[in-house]
Chain A
């Protein structure tokens, strides 16, 4: 019970803190003082109090997408082991359900972008849909290989790599962290795939899809994006925290990893610019390559050595 409450608390609050830490890091590298790390939360509260302007072109799809999008990420988060190392809902083959549920959110957000009839938003939607066709197979190869390694089919298999793969486990973990980190950058629209703070709509992916959202809806969308970041952060944390640790140590390690991850994301954003759109593909293919390397290592471990 305590574990569930803790998980839900983290689920609801950690996204804002992660965004806050990223902003603080970026401010640090830019030599500014920056806003408080709680600022994203206050921004969210402020958006909740605001009215909205919506486009005449839009229909119910546009109006309900932000809410359902939030429901989708919250539901998807229930399958991921958060702080205490246990998922709230633990079913076998959870990663399939997990990515297809996130697919619902993506489907609706693409439709909502097309609903406005804006060419910019259509462009963003096109890019988002296109990139995910490469991201998902890589994610599935990674997770299915890791599941085959430990013969455990839930997300708990992420913690079991070391037990089952011995020395190779470290390499597999390293590759998996890289894969999931790239996936985080793509799915949560961070530099170098997408720049959430750019001023030029032509170069955006996800941010351009929500140009017409305002007020409460915009608040919900930022919150969902934060939760998505937390989810992928949690997957990475699961790879790194050994299963044997006591729960309090695991919780502390989990929070520490999220914190460090946010700093890394902030540092990446400060140190490099967005890729040109044609190079984004090449970046995403790195993920496919690491996924295939994981498959190769697992194959060698299970059948070769």
Chain B
């Protein structure tokens, strides 16, 4: 446990030191501290993962906070590993990414400070087991990430995205608070340990408590329909922050849901179905809107929603397995879902970093203007393509492994008794397959339009490959995607440790043995696959020797004056699909038609708005504004009257207390 506090101390030290050192050194200090802290944190975390035995400590603090349990169990340990590794890679990347921003009078100090606070609060969130303290660190996490998002706060859209994020996080807070207040009022305790015994022994209102927690944490995680902050906040934030937020921070939402599930033990069928349904909708909705986006970071943000949906499908299948007593579905669902948390944090961070590198060099996030970057930034292009293949769940990369486990859980989880579950699972399988192919459409679009072909608008003459400090973390991440894909066995057995907190021992053990055996088979299969590729590549090389290889312009089907603007664009690539599903999108067009004999200015612009935002959030906000406008009379800027209001309130409060408290 000492190591744990030492590691947290390192983060604090980094946060404080970064305020005082020279601007050039701030990020370096933070990086060193976070690397040390991550290295230290891995020791207890891996220890817990290996033994499966949780360990913790009770801090005796003031009477208000009560005794604070700090516990590292398998679930915490898993998240600790993800947080530590991914955050420190993000900080290494930040060194290169922030270079152009240094010594420009921007507030690097606060950026570094909040970056360290974000990591620290995430670590605390997954280890603290005291409701009040959990809420405090949760709030610190939301606030510090808010300050990271508004790093370029002088831009209007960045600030408004940041405020939107802040509002969403506090709506989330209300629901989480509600869940904890209910638990607290039934148990009279702040300790998670008591919640566990309360909920597991058929505590009343378990459904309600879990639903509140699911909504609260779901807003953080980005489940549809609570996702709306994601596509705005991620493009606004600097790329390493987007990477850490999307890769790691939104997973704390998943952690919260899983923690409440640990409390609950065996979920009810209704809630399990609801979780699966929301997850399936999130996955489909996320990828559907990702296809329509041309801002690369917005596109990736929508893919976070999709992947949170896939994680949710895993959890939902696991919950259904528990509810119906189907061990196989439970083990495979939870293991797949939890492994996908790790997998998604790896490839999403990789993609955000690669997108950030291109933004740094080309100063645009609009993929319609890019093209041909593969010749200027070969490593970034390769790494982005690897990330794209991984996120689509295509073997032999890591995304496949977790999705495969979820599929297996769904296919074999079909019970002989329930016709409902049968049809729901088959439909979920079809949905997951559709999500996979739509992700493929989306990422061939992103990678193909950004990196391949010829430049579509931005002049690439001065574009060069990014520095080593940015390539290095991306390479590590790309290697991890491949390594986890190839040697899935070890990682699956790691992911099954926290999963066993839900599924328990006994029957689950046999399933785990089966799991192990068959993931070993998959690794062997991929070895065969690699062997085939290598043999064919070698054969191709020798076949090609001594053959004439001419270079020529691309075949234009008889037309030989093709220029760069005649290439397929992202809009046209997605158009066939988007126009097929017209009713699902709200298109907003701005047209200025050419007029008169000598038309001067004309343009056509089309955007696709999020229907959830357009038809649910905006009307709600309008209603809210209408209602609140009635109170404008009270807010008249007259301080004397405000004091009067205070006085009236106090008198009313006293009367109330006398009357009710009597």
B437 interface hit (Cβ, 8 Å): yes
Considering only residues 406-460 of chain B, those with a C-beta below 8 Å from chain A are 407-408, 410-412, 414, 416, 419, 422-423, 426, 429-434, 436-438, 440-441, 443-444, 447-449, 452-454
Are A126 and B573 in contact, CB atoms less than 8 angstroms apart? yes
Please indicate which of the listed interface residues A60, A74, A103, A295 has the most CB atoms of chain B within 10 Å of its own CB.
A103
A116's nearest neighbour on chain B, judged by CB, is: B554
Bound CA span A83–B430, Å: 29
A105's nearest neighbour on chain B, judged by CB, is: B394
A61 interface hit (Cβ, 8 Å): yes
Encoded as 1 (CB less than 8 Å from any A CB) or 0, chain B from 560 to 583 comes to 001010111000111111001000
Which residues of A sit under 8 angstroms from B532, Cβ to Cβ? 71, 74-75
A139's nearest neighbour on chain B, judged by CB, is: B433
Q: A107-B389, A129-B440 are in contact. Are A56 and B419 (CB under 8 A)?
A: no
Contact of B433 among A89, A101, A140 (CB under 8 A): A140
Bound CA span A140–B537, Å: 31
Considering only residues 533-588 of chain B, those with a C-beta below 8 Å from chain A are 533, 536-537, 540, 543-544, 547-557, 562, 564, 566-568, 572-577, 580
Binds B, one of A144-152, A248-256, A258-266: A144-152
Encoded as 1 (CB less than 8 Å from any B CB) or 0, chain A from 94 to 129 comes to 001101110110110011011111111111011101
A216's nearest neighbour on chain B, judged by CB, is: B543
A89's nearest neighbour on chain B, judged by CB, is: B525
Are A51 and B550 in contact, CB atoms less than 8 angstroms apart? yes
Bound CA span A165–B392, Å: 35
B487 interface hit (Cβ, 8 Å): no
Bound CA span A15–B448, Å: 30
Which residues of B sit under 8 angstroms from A75, Cβ to Cβ? 528-529, 532
B538's nearest neighbour on chain A, judged by CB, is: A67
Encoded as 1 (CB less than 8 Å from any B CB) or 0, chain A from 56 to 78 comes to 11111100100110110011001
Which residues of A sit under 8 angstroms from B408, Cβ to Cβ? 92-93, 96, 153
Interchain nearest-CB distance for B622 vs A (Å): 35
Considering only residues 263-305 of chain A, those with a C-beta below 8 Å from chain B are 281, 295, 299, 302-303
Are A111 and B444 in contact, CB atoms less than 8 angstroms apart? yes
Bound CA span A74–B533, Å: 10
B404 interface hit (Cβ, 8 Å): yes
Interchain nearest-CB distance for A22 vs B (Å): 26
Q: A115-B448, A126-B575 are in contact. Are A303 and B441 (CB under 8 A)?
A: no
Which residues of B sit under 8 angstroms from A242, Cβ to Cβ? none
Please indicate which of the listed interface residues A122, A138, A212 has the most CB atoms of chain B within 10 Å of its own CB.
A122
Bound CA span A299–B411, Å: 14
Which residues of B sit under 8 angstroms from A103, Cβ to Cβ? 392-394, 436-437, 440
Which residues of A sit under 8 angstroms from B371, Cβ to Cβ? 117
Which residues of A sit under 8 angstroms from B403, Cβ to Cβ? 100
- Size range of the chain A interface in the assembly: 35 or more
Are A52 and B567 in contact, CB atoms less than 8 angstroms apart? no
Contact of B395 among A48, A74, A101, A127 (CB under 8 A): A101
Contact of B525 among A71, A97, A127 (CB under 8 A): A97
A129's nearest neighbour on chain B, judged by CB, is: B441
Which residues of A sit under 8 angstroms from B440, Cβ to Cβ? 103, 106-107, 110, 129, 132
Contact of A133 among B407, B441, B564 (CB under 8 A): B441
Which residues of A sit under 8 angstroms from B645, Cβ to Cβ? none
Are A129 and B433 in contact, CB atoms less than 8 angstroms apart? no
Are B422 and A148 in contact, CB atoms less than 8 angstroms apart? yes
Are A133 and B437 in contact, CB atoms less than 8 angstroms apart? yes
Are B430 and A141 in contact, CB atoms less than 8 angstroms apart? yes
Are B426 and A144 in contact, CB atoms less than 8 angstroms apart? yes
Bound CA span A91–B529, Å: 15
Interchain nearest-CB distance for A45 vs B (Å): 12
- Chain B interface main SS type: helix
Bound CA span A97–B135, Å: 42
Interchain nearest-CB distance for B420 vs A (Å): 10
Which residues of A sit under 8 angstroms from B567, Cβ to Cβ? 117-119, 122
Which residues of A sit under 8 angstroms from B385, Cβ to Cβ? 61, 111
Contact of A201 among B430, B548, B557 (CB under 8 A): B557
Bound CA span A111–B431, Å: 24
Are A51 and B395 in contact, CB atoms less than 8 angstroms apart? no
A130 interface hit (Cβ, 8 Å): yes
Are A51 and B407 in contact, CB atoms less than 8 angstroms apart? no
Q: A92-B408, A103-B440, A132-B437 are in contact. Are A115 and B548 (CB under 8 A)?
A: no
Bound CA span A113–B554, Å: 11
Please indicate which of the listed interface residues B414, B532, B554 has the most CB atoms of chain A within 10 Å of its own CB.
B554
Are B568 and A56 in contact, CB atoms less than 8 angstroms apart? no
Bound CA span A141–B554, Å: 40
Bound CA span A75–B535, Å: 12
Bound CA span A89–B449, Å: 37
Are A93 and B395 in contact, CB atoms less than 8 angstroms apart? no
Contact of A148 among B404, B426, B432 (CB under 8 A): B426
Are A126 and B393 in contact, CB atoms less than 8 angstroms apart? no
A50 interface hit (Cβ, 8 Å): yes
Are A107 and B444 in contact, CB atoms less than 8 angstroms apart? yes
A36 interface hit (Cβ, 8 Å): no
B480 interface hit (Cβ, 8 Å): no
Contact of B543 among A48, A60, A133 (CB under 8 A): A48
Which residues of A sit under 8 angstroms from B551, Cβ to Cβ? 53-56
Which residues of B sit under 8 angstroms from A54, Cβ to Cβ? 549-552
Interchain nearest-CB distance for A129 vs B (Å): 4
Bound CA span A295–B429, Å: 12
Please indicate which of the listed interface residues A117, A121, A126, A137 has the most CB atoms of chain B within 10 Å of its own CB.
A117
Interchain nearest-CB distance for B20 vs A (Å): 47
A103's nearest neighbour on chain B, judged by CB, is: B394
Are B528 and A52 in contact, CB atoms less than 8 angstroms apart? no
Top-3 shortest CB links A-B: A122-B568, A114-B448, A51-B548
Q: Could you list 13 A-B pairs, sorted by A, with CB under 8 Å? A: A53-B552, A56-B551, A57-B372, A64-B537, A68-B536, A92-B408, A92-B412, A92-B518, A103-B392, A107-B440, A125-B568, A129-B440, A303-B419
